[in-house]
Structure 1
Amino acid sequence: MPEQHPNGTDAETQVCVSTSFNTNLSNTPDNRYLMPVPSLLSSTMLRPSCGLLLIAALSQCTSSANSERNTQAPPAVTQFNQDWQFVRDVDTTVTASLFAKTGSTAQWAPVSLPHTPRIEPVVTEQQQWQGISFYRKFFRVPAAGPGSRVAIEFGAAMHTADVYLNGQNLQRHVGGYLPFTVDISRQAKYGEENVLLVRLNNQDSPVVPPGKPLKGLDFNFYGGLYRPARLILSDPLHIANAVQANRVAGGGLLLHYENVSPQSATLHLQTDLQNDAPQAQTALVRTVLLNEKGQEVARTTSEAASVAPGASSQIKQQLSIAQPQLWSPDQPYLYRAVVEVLRDGKVVDRQETTTGVRSIRFAAKTFTLNGQPLRLRGTNRHQEYPYLGYAISDNAQYRDAWKIKDAGFNFVRCSHYPPSEAFLQACDELGLLVMDSAPGWQFFGNAEFQKNSLQDIRDMVRRDRNHPSIVLWEAALNESDMAKPFMEAAHKAVHEELPFAEGVYSCGWLDYAYDVFIPARQHLKAPDYFNKYAKDKPLFLCEYGDWEYYAHNAGFNQTAFSGLKESERTSRQLRGQGERALTQQALNFQEAHNDNFRGPAVGDANWLMFDYKRGYAPDIESSGVSDIFRLPKFAYYFYQSQNGPVEGRNGFGKPMVYIANYWQPTSSKQVVVYSNCDEIELQLNGKPVARQRPDATKFADRLAHAPFTFTVPAFAPGTLKAVAYRNGKSAATAERRTPGAAHHLQLRYDRSGRDAGRQDVLFVYAEVVDVNGTVLPEATNSIRFALKGEGELIGDNPVRAEAGIATVLVKTGLEKGTLQLTATGDGLTDATLKIETK
């Protein structure tokens, strides 16, 4: 590999690749470490009219399916996810045979992106697969080249990618969580077939963050090209991609708001133009801001600017917004900024990004949003799915965000790495505040590792900087013994990339250098933890509710804990471990969350939202408020009760009530009910048990909405009903029926704000129910699934039900249509479900 500059480009040539128009992403992926790729220096320009012609040519020449194309121009963009081939566990040497359609001994399997190298079992005594794998794709580009720029964008690849085109090594990208782009303008054979080869290595590496070997890591880093890819044809004069440009506070679009109020706001927008043509180009930038109805709110056009050959130019603009709709968790209003680059009166590049008008401020003891104090009520999220690891659809990313919002949280920490852009876009749309996190956990490596980590921090900020949801940048290696110079450099990197006087906050788990201190609650001992933190610095508790109970250090509820077994007192409880275990987990979270209000913290984030798998243990880490299949536990509804009741625009935070009890002979007569209302009346078989106000205990005295605990004198089979009252009026109801004998199955799939789409990944749940449709919470029947239509069953089949529900993953096909899923079980009436993909 040739010598490289610190910014990742080779010593002779810095290559800049076009960004693309995409209505779903605020920035487009780009490359990080470049090997020499000579710039395309052609006088042939891609005009807007040519863009449409090129898309037509792409539809005939590429092997990507028509249904994936984005026909907006310019630039011409086609999804690049179909007709890939994959092989692993073969000779890792790159030879000519890997580029040949015939004659190779490798058994290539047809795959589509996103893709994972191996379907992993939910629970295994072996670690996830690690090794070297190959992806390749045969494709064509229009014969009209090489006048335009041609690039391939990868959303992410785990974690070291060597990319070849037609046998030539083009570049290496290091890092598994952020995007990169491969420019193929010079090497592509226009009008002929090309073969792209990606050699991927996800083996342990001490220089690639997170750096720690998988066998000692608290999460898994799955392999594969696990995020989407795109093929782009664009003009040599284009909006530079923020990551690929590798310029401090440069590249792409950079948005920032000042003087935000309900009366007005000022949007400062910087557009970074790159000219890779052999002569100077004169262009101007036109920006239009649209509201959610598509109506124009503001417009500005820059003066004409000349951009020298091989150079860049940053165009700064300012727009005034009268009476803006301010973005907040309850009202996540998004505008659209449309930025066009014009040369000789014609559009040669165009980008569109959603944007939210808001202001933030962290101070000691207070976080304010749009000038109003707001308590951050958060959780942590790992992005993995069972079986598929990281290779999930954008819809699946959205559903995860929807569940976090539905569970009552207004904040999510992206532990312990940057998430997909689709997840962040969902947070923008749904109203979730975000801590974006650099890859790292309990490992601090050598100089090369630190260099790569600092580059990760910069690339993370460059990719994600325009999301209104992001309020904190975790520019630290979680629970790692970082050197002070590294922390200083990481903090500085955030502020260099976002050089604004207000509204930019770095954070780290050590109380040094960073703007906001984010320790885990268990980093100090009971009973005070961080409640006596006295420094004049914002404090946010980024983890709580798991380790302090797992390690028997809760310090408060010792009387209740004294009779519990070790396995009973922990927050690590699988959904199938039963009512008592789920009640204990919810109580642990309640107690810890309540106690966090006693100190100066501006908010907290529990550990965690979803159960997940670890590199160092064969079992599932089960302290999630939902299980690994995204099925809620009791604690989910405790947190849901802490939200609202509010009139949120997305329907979250409405009056709710939930009975945390299965009401069967073994159930506790102490019935806990969660609600965000004032009073609850509990009824048994239509007769009142009691009507009560919320609990008044030291474990609930700081909560927005304490639980309601009822004592039922004696068990009687039938129906428990909770009626929630708000201001004296019935606002919500919930029921629990005593389950009878298993009778039949009923099927449903998890929508969570998104119906089934093409190439989607769906959780389908088969519930074991009695004749009345009540789920049997202790059923463990073996259930078999069968699928008809264009789709694929992923995972164990048959699979045993856990707490009465058996789960399978369904991967939908490329075309829209109907899938028919059937579930069968011995002694149970079958169930059939039709899924329409759109």
Structure 2
Amino acid sequence: MLTPRRSPSYSLLLALFIVLASAYPSRAQQAQRLTSGWEFVRQDLGGIWEAVRPVVAGNPESVPLWEPVTLPHCFNARDAVDPAVNYYQGPGWYRTQLAVQNPYPGGRTRLHFEGAGQKTEVYIGTTKVGSHVGGYDEWTVDITQAVADFQKTEAYQKQFKGKIPFAIRCDNSRDLEMIPSDLSDFNVYGGLYRYLNLEYRPATSLDRLITQAAVDATGKTGTLALKVTFPETSSLPPSSPVAVRLLDPQGRPVGKYQGVVQGQAGEVAVHQFALKNPRLWSPTQPQLYTVELTLGSGPQAYHQTQKVGFRHIEFVEHGPFKLNGQRLLLRGTHRHEDHAGVAAAMTEPMIRQEMVLMKQMGVNFIRLGHYQQSPIVLNLCDSLGILVWEEIPWCRGGLGSPVYQAQAKRMLTHMVQQHAHHPAVIIWGLGNENDWAGDFPEFDKEKIRTFMKELNALSHQLDPSRYTAIRRCDFCKDIPDVYSPSIWAGWYRGIYTDYKAATEEEFKGVKRFLHVEWGGDSHAGRHSENPDNALAKITAGKGADERAGDASLFGGSARVSKDGDWSETYLCNLVDWHLKEQETMPWLSGTAYWPFKDFSTPVRPDNPIPYMNQKGVVERDFTKKEAYYVFQSYWTTAPMAHIYGHSWPVRWGDEGEQKMVKVYSNCEQAELFVNGKSYGVRKRNSQDFPAAGLHWNVPFTTGQNQVRVVARQGKQTVTDEISFRYQTQKWTKPTKLTLTKVGEANGLTTVEAKLFDAQGVQCLDAASWLEFSLAGAGRLLDDLGTSRGSRKVQAYNGHALISLEAKAGQTTVAVQSPGLATVLLAL
């Protein structure tokens, strides 16, 4: 997409987003991310001594063999999407040696885990110093005494040369008495896949700074209540001096307080600020205040800063959502913590890139599915202006024992305590698809209802200011404040034109309605001249919910998820229809498309990319699919225009046949040019499906064609253009496979496999399975979970690509397809 002129305000706003997104200081007095110098082994050890012994003994024959890694790191960076194996679920060990010197006399030293999967044990030397169950909440281990004890040993000076040996065991083994269930439609990853921090704190410090920002419905009066809690490991003085400054979004002081705080267990009140006409936080103006707190004085003082925002939220009963007294249609998506090549171990730059891509698509709401996510994500939602539904991983399987239930309550408590200061958060999610049995012999709806009520009460006790919600458990829909039913019109059930009627019917049955999870799968790079053909097999008006077995590609009733072509073309039509309808539903609080990015899952081995949920509008490596621009055309204001088909190199049809060209744009009008000829100006009308009226039926020339659009919004102009080949030759079934080198850049070679019939005509609708392999030097860039990064993949429009590292004269690539001769290519 070409956008020659962009408004200065957009560029400045995006720059501000990026600055703010990196502006959050460490939560500790002094903190260091522990990223380098780690070793890893993906198996269990005979005991903790095996993590220390090779260093102490210096024995080159010691086993097992450790590999160097950088944190964050996930056990399953590759095997989660390996088409030939089940992903690894079991223990793994990490080790390193660190110089630990707390600069504060009598201070405390801690390890702060932003998340680790799924059961974790921490050792210094051979001494276990802490453990945690749960893969997604933050937690800390006080290592002060253990470090001091080890520094007294002979090994500290002789074998370890003044460093402390750390070993950490993570374990993601299958366990029915843990959440989330292994029946979940996502991988339960293992490893130190979020950042690990070493923290130094003075003798008196805080465990939590609790900020409760509130504003009345008029927005004229705001309050900010401050409380603190102290670490359980601290020896608390009777009282300590405390000083607080409150800074407005421009960094100007607007309040200050000096006093004394009592050193005692539990929450301790500090002060409450009153503000007149506070600057309100919203998706278009994410105004953030800063709290600066100092505990104690002099060089032993503890300092902490925290961002807060003032906003008023309301889900109107039997009505829409209001922010700061005005209706706001929640335009949302979902996020899983998953990325090509690293799985859950996304770095901060990766996370920032993902969240900015969402904002640029027009998102103002996100559901974090299905677990508490990194504090980096929440900070970005605050600074970018993205409202949040965050939930605990009680997902599928039923209800376990008291141990299972205690974990759910503990993770809910941690999620609320750790993220309640974020103005972006509006909903605490209590569960997902809890009507899905399978983990236990007993599936008792009343017991599930009872436990759901307990979670609901706990959430309101911890945070009365926010709503609770669940998705898809109809026998519990009366318990939380907000309910989202299952509506998958045009994918798992029904046709997409059923969407509005199905939504209206569900809306009538609950007090507060919000529709999260809708959409469909698309195989990136696959396009269709007749995308809606599968709809002819399906009877309209027979329900739009998802039922057991609907995700299967085999058996059962007719449904697009099984019988459709999985093309990007169909998904764009489905999304386009949904967004068109949402503009005519004034009672609707909002929706969230499932999901933003393709992600790995163990329960979908037969998908066109094995073990991938392909419903994203971007691929697992951030490559945009066509549907991204459909959302952008409805949800953004900066002028944009995108001709459908940037990844469609060959279209097909008869000579002289009228073919549709669609342009997704938010501009008032657009003019289309095909091979230099204008086909007229069309005005945008969101209710003129498809592409909001910006569609033309035009003839193509056999061979190469050039299509260009000029879109106008007031005095601003944006353009886009594509070129493609138009094929009029007909084909039969594939009988021949070819493999050619098509590119070389940045040390990578790209090869393309194509399918042809007996007459040598490319089979442009072929969806045959293709499998690449390599012999000799080099390696395939596979197991990435993308259409161009998988060694086993269904063809998209009769071809598929993959990249590799190769050495001239030493690398041979092969591709095979069932029933066809294998093809070799020497590079």
- Residues 404-434 of structure 1 show CA distances to partners (whole Å, capped at 9, x for unaligned) of 2222322211111122111222222222222
Residues 539, 365 of structure 1: alpha-carbon distance in 2 compared, 3 angstrom cutoff: same
- Matched residue type, 1:529: A
- Matched residue type, 1:305: V
SS in 2 for 1:537: coil
**1:516 alignment partner, one of 465, 479, 482:** 482
SS in 2 for 1:365: coil
Q: Separation in 1 of the partners of 2:270 and 2:277?
A: 23
What is the CA distance between 1:525 and its match in structure 2? 6.8
1:148 aligns with 2:107: yes
SS in 2 for 1:488: helix
Q: Separation in 2 of the partners of 1:401 and 1:148?
A: 37
Partner of 1:162: 121
- Residues 772-813 of structure 1 show CA distances to partners (whole Å, capped at 9, x for unaligned) of xxxxx99999999xxxxxxx9996799789879968799xxx
Partner of 2:209: 252
Q: Percent identity?
A: 23
Contact 2:395–2:433 under 8 Å retained in 1: yes
What is the CA distance between 1:145 and its match in structure 2? 7.7
Residues 261, 314 of structure 1: alpha-carbon distance in 2 compared, 3 angstrom cutoff: same
Partner of 1:472: 427
Partner of 2:504: 531
- Residues 92-132 of structure 1 show CA distances to partners (whole Å, capped at 9, x for unaligned) of 54446645513442212222210122541544132211111
What is the CA distance between 1:664 and its match in structure 2? 4.2
What is the CA distance between 1:571 and its match in structure 2? 6.1
Contact 2:219–2:312 under 8 Å retained in 1: no
Q: Separation in 2 of the partners of 1:172 and 1:471?
A: 31
Over the residues paired in the alignment, what is the CA RMSD in angstroms? Answer: 4.4
- Matched residue type, 2:706: T
Contact 1:207–1:446 under 8 Å retained in 2: yes
Q: Separation in 2 of the partners of 1:809 and 1:604?
A: 40
SS in 2 for 1:387: coil
Contact 2:211–2:308 under 8 Å retained in 1: no
Q: Separation in 1 of the partners of 2:244 and 2:258?
A: 9
Partner of 1:603: 590
What is the CA distance between 1:152 and its match in structure 2? 0.8
Residues 536, 734 of structure 1: alpha-carbon distance in 2 compared, 3 angstrom cutoff: same
Mapping of residues 98-137 of structure 1, within 5 Å? 98=52, 101=55, 102=57, 103=59, 104-121=62-79, 122-137=81-96
1:331 aligns with 2:285: yes
SS in 1 for 2:604: coil
Mapping of residues 547-696 of structure 1, within 5 Å? 561-562=535-536, 570=560, 581-595=567-581, 598=585, 600-618=587-605, 619=610, 620-645=612-637, 653-660=638-645, 662=648, 664-666=650-652, 669-694=659-684
What is the CA distance between 1:239 and its match in structure 2? 1.2
Contact 2:82–2:783 under 8 Å retained in 1: no
Q: Separation in 1 of the partners of 2:781 and 2:567?
A: 31
SS in 1 for 2:64: coil
SS in 1 for 2:515: coil
SS in 1 for 2:652: coil
Partner of 1:754: none
SS in 1 for 2:177: coil
Q: Separation in 1 of the partners of 2:804 and 2:314?
A: 42
Partner of 1:205: 175
TM-score (norm 2): 0.73
Contact 2:659–2:699 under 8 Å retained in 1: yes
Q: Separation in 1 of the partners of 2:167 and 2:90?
A: 16
Contact 1:284–1:303 under 8 Å retained in 2: yes
Contact 1:765–1:805 under 8 Å retained in 2: no
What is the CA distance between 1:724 and its match in structure 2? 1.7
Partner of 1:218: 185
Residues 323, 540 of structure 1: alpha-carbon distance in 2 compared, 3 angstrom cutoff: same
* Structure 1: runs of 5 or more not aligned: 1-21, 29-73, 241-250, 550-556, 646-652, 750-763, 769-776, 785-791, 811-820, 828-838
* Structure 2: runs of 5 or more not aligned: 1-20, 157-161, 437-444, 524-530, 539-552, 728-739, 753-763, 775-779, 814-827
- Matched residue type, 2:536: S
- Residues 656-687 of structure 1 show CA distances to partners (whole Å, capped at 9, x for unaligned) of 44334647442781111111122221111232
1:353 aligns with 2:306: yes
- Residues 321-348 of structure 1 show CA distances to partners (whole Å, capped at 9, x for unaligned) of 45543222222233322221124x6662
- Residues 339-367 of structure 1 show CA distances to partners (whole Å, capped at 9, x for unaligned) of 21124x66621111222332211113211
Contact 2:683–2:694 under 8 Å retained in 1: yes
Partner of 2:712: 725
- Matched residue type, 2:339: Y
Q: Separation in 2 of the partners of 1:726 and 1:743?
A: 43
> How many residues were matched structurally?
685
Mapping of residues 362-511 of structure 1, within 5 Å? 362-363=315-316, 364-444=318-398, 445-480=400-435, 483-500=448-465, 503-510=466-473, 511=477
Partner of 1:229: 196
SS in 1 for 2:345: coil
**2:165 alignment partner, one of 192, 195, 208:** 195
What is the CA distance between 1:595 and its match in structure 2? 4.6
- Matched residue type, 1:604: T
TM-score (norm 1): 0.72
What is the CA distance between 1:390 and its match in structure 2? 0.4
Residues 259, 598 of structure 1: alpha-carbon distance in 2 compared, 3 angstrom cutoff: closer
Q: Separation in 2 of the partners of 1:736 and 1:548?
A: 21
Residues 663, 694 of structure 1: alpha-carbon distance in 2 compared, 3 angstrom cutoff: farther
Q: Separation in 1 of the partners of 2:144 and 2:516?
A: 45
- Matched residue type, 1:608: P
Q: Separation in 1 of the partners of 2:67 and 2:493?
A: 53
Q: Which moved more, 1:108-117 or 1:685-694?
A: 685-694
- Matched residue type, 1:586: C
Q: Which moved more, 1:275-284 or 1:471-480?
A: 275-284
What is the CA distance between 1:231 and its match in structure 2? 1.0
Q: Separation in 1 of the partners of 2:533 and 2:741?
A: 42
What is the CA distance between 1:221 and its match in structure 2? 1.6
Residues 746, 603 of structure 1: alpha-carbon distance in 2 compared, 3 angstrom cutoff: farther
Contact 1:781–1:825 under 8 Å retained in 2: no
Contact 1:573–1:622 under 8 Å retained in 2: no
Residues 583, 100 of structure 1: alpha-carbon distance in 2 compared, 3 angstrom cutoff: same
Contact 1:571–1:588 under 8 Å retained in 2: no
- Matched residue type, 2:414: D
Contact 1:795–1:809 under 8 Å retained in 2: no
Q: Separation in 2 of the partners of 1:424 and 1:506?
A: 18
- Matched residue type, 1:352: T
Partner of 2:260: 304
What is the CA distance between 1:302 and its match in structure 2? 4.0
SS in 2 for 1:448: helix
Q: Separation in 2 of the partners of 1:140 and 1:603?
A: 51
Partner of 1:18: none
Q: Separation in 1 of the partners of 2:321 and 2:71?
A: 40
Residues 425, 825 of structure 1: alpha-carbon distance in 2 compared, 3 angstrom cutoff: farther
Q: Separation in 2 of the partners of 1:146 and 1:284?
A: 19
Contact 1:434–1:471 under 8 Å retained in 2: yes
